[in-house]
Chain A
Amino acid sequence: MTATRSAPPETRGLVEQSRRLPRLAPLGLFGLGALAGVAVSALTGFSVVLAVVYAVVLGTLAVYVASRSVEGTRKALDRLVTCVVTTAFAVAMVPLVSLVWTVLSRGLRRLDGEFFTSSMLGVVGEGGGAYHAILGTLIITGLTAVISVPIGLLTAIYVVEYGTGRLKKAITFLVDVMTGIPSIVAGLFAFALFAIFFGPGVRLGIMGAIALSVLMIPVVVRSSEEVLKLVPNELREAAYALGVPKWRTIIKVVIPTAIAGLATGVTLAVARVIGETAPLLITVGIINGTNLDPFDGRMATLPVFAYYQLTQPGFPPEFAIDRAWTAALILIILVMALNVVARLISRFFAPKTGR
C-alpha cells in the first residue's frame, strides 16, 4: 500500500475512515469459537463429528458477532460468507479423504505379487488374484480407444475445420447430449445390438468395447474440439498461402500444434472409461479363468471383478472382500495415474502458439 505516501493526513478527513478488524483477528476469533465448540461437545459426550460441527458453527458465529460490532453489518455479512464458503470447500474434502483412506487401508492387505500373477481359476477362499481381470480391462479399454480415438478425432476435425451450417450444429449439440447418456444405457445398447444378431445370451469382450466407445467418443470429441479451436488461424492461412492443400495443412500443421492437448484429452477420456462397471457387467460378464480373446465369450474386467468379489464373496467371505478392495485400490491408482499423465503431457508439451 502506498497510502502513507500519497495520502497526507489533511486529505484523510474527506473520506470517513471505517474501523476494521486487524488482519489476523478473524482467524484468531474463529479459533476461539472453535475451541469453545470443542469444549461444548466434550461436555455433552465427545464425538468427533459433533465436535467439528460445533466448532465450525461457534467459530463462524464468533467472527460474525465481533465483525458486526466493530465493522458494521455489511462487512460482517462479507466475513460470514467467507466462513461459509470456506467451510463448504472443507466439507467437500471430507468424502475425498475418507474415500482414499478407506480404500487404502483395506486395499493394501492383498496388494501382493500373487494378486497380479494369478487368476481366480479354481480358487476357493484364500489366495487368487486379478491377473485375468487386469489383462481384460487393458484389452477392452485398448479396443475402446482404438475405436473411439479415430472417430472422435475425425468428428472434432469435421466440426472445427470442415463443418458448416445445420449439420455442424446438430453434431455439436448431439455430442453434448451424448456425454450425458447413462453408462448402463450404453451397455444395454451394445447388448441389444448384438442380441439381434447373435441371440440373447451373448457375452463378448468386443460388446463391452462398443458400449464403452459410446461413452468415450463424445468425451474425445469435446476435448479435441476445444484444443483444435485454440490453434491460431494464422498458421492455417500461412500454410494455404504456400499452396498446401487443406488435408495436409490439418495433418502437418494443425494436429502437430495441438498434439499435446489432443493427447491430454484422450488420456482423460481413457481414465473416464477404465473404471466403468455397469456396461461391462451386462455385456462382458465375468469368468474366473483367463480369456484374452475379446471375440470369444465372457471376459473378466477389474471393475466387474471388484463388484462380484464384494457382493458375492462366497464362503468364507473375508478373502473375497479383501480381493475386492485391492481391485478397487488398483482401479483408483490406474485412474489417478492416467490423470497425472494427462497433466504432465499438457504441461511439458504445451502447444507453442507463439503468443
Chain B
Amino acid sequence: MTLTTAPPEAPRPKRRVGDRIFAGSATGAGILILLVLAGVAVFLISEAWPAVTAPAGDIPGGDGLSAYIAPLIFGTLLAAVIALVVATPLAVAIALYITYYAPRRLAAAMGYVIDLLAAIPSVVYGFWGIAALAPALVPFYVWAEDNLGFIPLFAGPASPTGRTMFTAGLMLAVMILPIISAISREVFSQAPALHREAALALGATRWEMIKMAVLPYGKSGVIGGAMLGLGRALGETLAIAIVLSASGGITFNLISTSNPSTIAANIALQFPESTGLDVNTLIASGLALFVITLAVNMLARWVVNRRADFSGAN
C-alpha cells in the first residue's frame, strides 16, 4: 500500500500491526480466489494432457479425443438450447407478473416461491424427472410423432419411457427458470419510475407502459440473465444423468430412444467406474465444458455489468 503518496490522506507515518495483518489477510483471500480459478484450469489441463497426447485408438470409442467429445458437446448444447428457448419467455413473463401485475402484498411471497425452485437440489430434479415428468410426456410424444412427424425434431419413433432429449431440456428449463426470472425481476423493478409514470400519465395501458418504459430498459438484463441460465444449463449434471437415456451419436430427433449424452452427465455416469486413460479422457471433456461455460458466463457478466453504465435516460 502506498498511502504516503496520497496527499489528501492524513499523514500516517506507521501503520498499526493489526491493520497490516488484517489488510494483508483480506488481500490474500482475494488473491487466493484468483489462484483457485487459475488452479482449476491448470490442474484440469495437467490431468487432461495424457488424453490429448494419447494415440487415437486408446481413447474410448477408438476414434480419438475430438470424435469422443464432439457428440457430447452437441448434446450439451442441444439440451441447453431447448431449456433456454422454453425458459426465457416464461421467465420474462413471470418477472413481469411479479413486478407489475401481482397484488402488491403477495408479490414478495410469489418471488420467494419461484426462488424455491432454485433451491431444490439437482438430484431431486432428476428423481422428479424420471418419476413424474417423463411418464407424463409420453402421450405428448406419441401425439407429436403422429402429427408433427414431418418435422425432423419430432421424427420419432416416440420413446416409450419418455426419457428423451426433450424431457431433459424441459427439466433444465424448470431449473434455470428461477435464475432468469430473478435477474429479470431485478432489472424490471429498477426501470425508472419517472418513465413509467410518464407513460401512464399519457394514457398508456399497463402493457404499453411496460413495452415502452420497462422492456427497453431491462433488455440487456434479460439477455444477461438468459446467458447465466445457459451457463447453469450447460453444467447441469445429475438431473440429466438420471433422466436422459443416452446412447451417443448426433441426432436432432428429440423424442426417440436414441439421444446424445451431455458432457457433465457422461462424466457423472462414467467416472466412478473409470481408470487410467479413461479418467484423463473424461477430465479432458470436463475441460471443454469448463471453457464453454467460462466463455458463456464471462459474456453474460459483461452484458449484465454493461447495464450499470446506462443511465435512466436512454
Which residues of A are interface residues toward B (Cβ below 8 A)? 49, 74-75, 77-78, 81-82, 84-86, 88-89, 91-93, 95-96, 98-99, 102-103, 106, 150-152, 154-155, 157-159, 161-163, 167-168, 170-171, 173-186, 188-189, 191-193, 195-196, 200-201, 214, 217-218, 221, 245-248, 250, 271-272, 274-278, 281-282, 285, 303, 306-307, 310-311, 324-325, 328, 331-332, 335-336, 339, 343
Q: Is B235 an interface residue (CB 8 A)?
A: yes
Number of A-B residue pairs having CB atoms within 8 Å of each other in the complex: 267
A275-B122 in contact (CB<8A): yes
Q: Is B72 an interface residue (CB 8 A)?
A: no
> A188 with B286: in contact, given A182-B293, A306-B127 (CB under 8 Å)?
yes
Q: Is B232 an interface residue (CB 8 A)?
A: yes
| Most chain B Cβ neighbours within 10 Å, of A178, A245, A277, A310 | A277
> A174 with B44: in contact, given A102-B132, A185-B235 (CB under 8 Å)?
no
Q: Is B254 an interface residue (CB 8 A)?
A: no
A96-B116 in contact (CB<8A): yes
Q: Is B296 an interface residue (CB 8 A)?
A: yes
B275-A177 in contact (CB<8A): no
B267-A188 in contact (CB<8A): yes
A154-B174 in contact (CB<8A): no
B123-A275 in contact (CB<8A): yes
A-B contact pairs, 29 of them (CB 8 A): A78-B206, A78-B207, A82-B101, A88-B89, A89-B102, A91-B90, A92-B94, A98-B133, A99-B125, A99-B128, A152-B29, A178-B36, A182-B289, A183-B237, A192-B46, A247-B19, A247-B21, A247-B22, A274-B121, A276-B121, A277-B122, A277-B123, A278-B238, A278-B268, A307-B242, A325-B127, A331-B121, A335-B120, A343-B112
Measured CA separation A220–B80 after assembly (Å)? 27
Contacts of B89 in A (CB 8 A): 88
Chain A residue at smallest Cβ distance from B90: A88
> A81 with B207: in contact, given A182-B235, A247-B19 (CB under 8 Å)?
yes
B290-A181 in contact (CB<8A): yes
Chain A residue at smallest Cβ distance from B227: A180
The proximity string for B residues 162-184 relative to A, scoring 1 for CB distances below 8 Å and 0 otherwise, is 00000000000010010001000
Contacts of A196 in B (CB 8 A): 43, 46-47
Interface size on B, residues (CB 8 A): 92
Measured CA separation A195–B39 after assembly (Å)? 14
The one of A82, A275, A311 that contacts B124, using a Cβ cutoff of 8 Å? A275
The one of A154, A167, A186, A324 that contacts B127, using a Cβ cutoff of 8 Å? A324
Contacts of B112 in A (CB 8 A): 343
Contacts of A85 in B (CB 8 A): 93-94, 96-97, 101
The one of A158, A178, A183, A281 that contacts B29, using a Cβ cutoff of 8 Å? A158
Chain A residue at smallest Cβ distance from B27: A158
A162-B33 in contact (CB<8A): no
Query: Separation in Å of the A85 CB from the closest CB of chain B?
Result: 4
Contacts of B181 in A (CB 8 A): 92
Say what secondary structure dominates the interface of chain A.
helix
Q: Which of B10-69 contact A (CB under 8 A)?
A: 16, 18-19, 21-23, 25-34, 36-37, 39-40, 43-44, 46-47
> A307 with B238: in contact, given A189-B40, A221-B33 (CB under 8 Å)?
yes
Query: Separation in Å of the A315 CB from the closest CB of chain B?
Result: 19
A78-B208 in contact (CB<8A): yes
Measured CA separation A89–B276 after assembly (Å)? 49
Contacts of A92 in B (CB 8 A): 90, 94, 114, 117, 177, 181
> A185 with B29: in contact, given A86-B101, A192-B47 (CB under 8 Å)?
no
Query: Separation in Å of the A342 CB from the closest CB of chain B?
Result: 10
A200-B39 in contact (CB<8A): no
Contacts of A311 in B (CB 8 A): 242
A277-B121 in contact (CB<8A): yes
A-B contacts besides A95-B117, A182-B293, A335-B120, 12 pairs, CB < 8 Å: A99-B132, A154-B25, A155-B33, A180-B294, A185-B235, A188-B47, A246-B22, A247-B19, A247-B21, A277-B238, A282-B268, A324-B127
